[in-house]
A and B are shown apart, each in its own frame.
Chain A
């Protein structure tokens, strides 16, 4: 990226002069992202809603992207900036891999993303924050790992599960009660869909599964075999099963009291 900075600095975020603004800038915001690990991998999922103030700006936005073969980024925050950040991140990982002939370590990727978020601090102070969630399969340690970030680029590794975005409080609470160490891939995918359902239940900016329009959350799985996005058929099956049970129990599965 030093090359990009030296040759076409205007392509890099953080190098643009900011116009003075009065009040909040209206731009579409992405909302909730959740991740959960299971033995042998990690799932990363996101709802499909983007909001601009009280308006639903987009119903079918995709907020989870593969970063490379073994990692993915889910974005919450200002959609335009976040998508650009992901594009640049993808480019950088691929570029490194091609030039060096080897992949960055998962830690290396996570650190790089941290720097990119920090470079957006000026924008974040004006209300255009980007807060992603990064998940990947660590080939050296043979397990899925999750990294969460704050607006200043602070990075922390999460164990088991994590959430970011406006509905993250509710999603995280739901996952906390549902999460088990011995999940299978399918169970982990179901758990994140449940968590997104709960987030949509309590947070107006998070969209639940839209049965009428057939818009379901994006669910991705990263294992030893690499990144895989669940097909619409697979996600719709999980979402329908969750929805079916919620018709009887609107608050979702009950955890044991003791």
Chain B
């Protein structure tokens, strides 16, 4: 392929956006949704050490998908920003809006600077308020724009499908167990419509709980507590679904292994149509990298 001397700004931006989007699509998804006592974060993440969801400040938390080193960098920057703000002024003066603005600036600058490659990340910054109407959720795509979200939001590999699934089923005033069930259901659906079973080992769950007596409202839901919450759900499912459950699980076990297969193939097809062959060659390497981004 010959190297063109002139690339129009539109083309350059489109290429960069394409690059970032593809990077993000390789990873697994994170969903964030409001429930009656706060905001719930659920990520599909088999790693115990590398977090996708973390605390930023008293009422603010952060969730991200994409390249770990890039969003970890942004997370530490956010913690620094928040701690410095809170120390210089007051703890109350640290807001999600301010933080989201800083992230938007950073992402926007990196995205449009020709010297750097765009960050392959998508972030969510959420703040829990005194009541559900005061909760704030911001989604920050790779290009530095800010989207103010309400109710539920998903980012990552399968975000569009998960978002629409969540939008249809999410309602105000859900309990923690209900919200968690909805989140897990949405994450366990594949692009081709099949379902997998996600157990406590595959999930990273955290909440911003406005009822916590401490100043810091962020709490991870781990181990036994998470299994208990999930068990509560499956017990309810069993009561509702009856014998259909076991058959479904067996079918899921079969598809779980080949998860990345159909997704990558579908994407490869899409790319191939768009920029003739260049994309599909790249996408074959997406399989092994997938494990790295999670």
Contact = CB atoms under 8 A, between A and B. Distances in A.
Interface stretch (A90-98, A136-144, A154-162, A242-250): A90-98
B79 A88 contact: no
B84 A4 contact: yes
Nearest to B218: A98
A11 B87 contact: yes
Nearest to A226: B214
A3 B80 contact: yes
A99 interface: yes
The secondary-structure label for the interface of chain B is helix
B79 A98 contact: yes
A91 to B, nearest CB: 5
B51 A94 contact: no
B54 A98 contact: yes
B51 A99 contact: no
A87 interface: yes
A258 interface: no
Nearest to A98: B79
A101 B55 CA distance: 9
B54 A95 contact: no
Contacts of A3: 80
A91 B87 contact: yes
A8 interface: yes
A8 B83 CA distance: 13
B88 A99 contact: no
B253 interface: no
Contacts of A91: 83, 86-87
Contacts of B51: 101
13 contacts: A3-B80, A4-B87, A8-B84, A11-B87, A87-B87, A91-B83, A91-B86, A91-B87, A94-B83, A94-B216, A95-B80, A99-B76, A101-B54
Given A4-B87, A95-B80, 5 more contacts: A11-B87, A91-B86, A94-B83, A98-B83, A99-B79
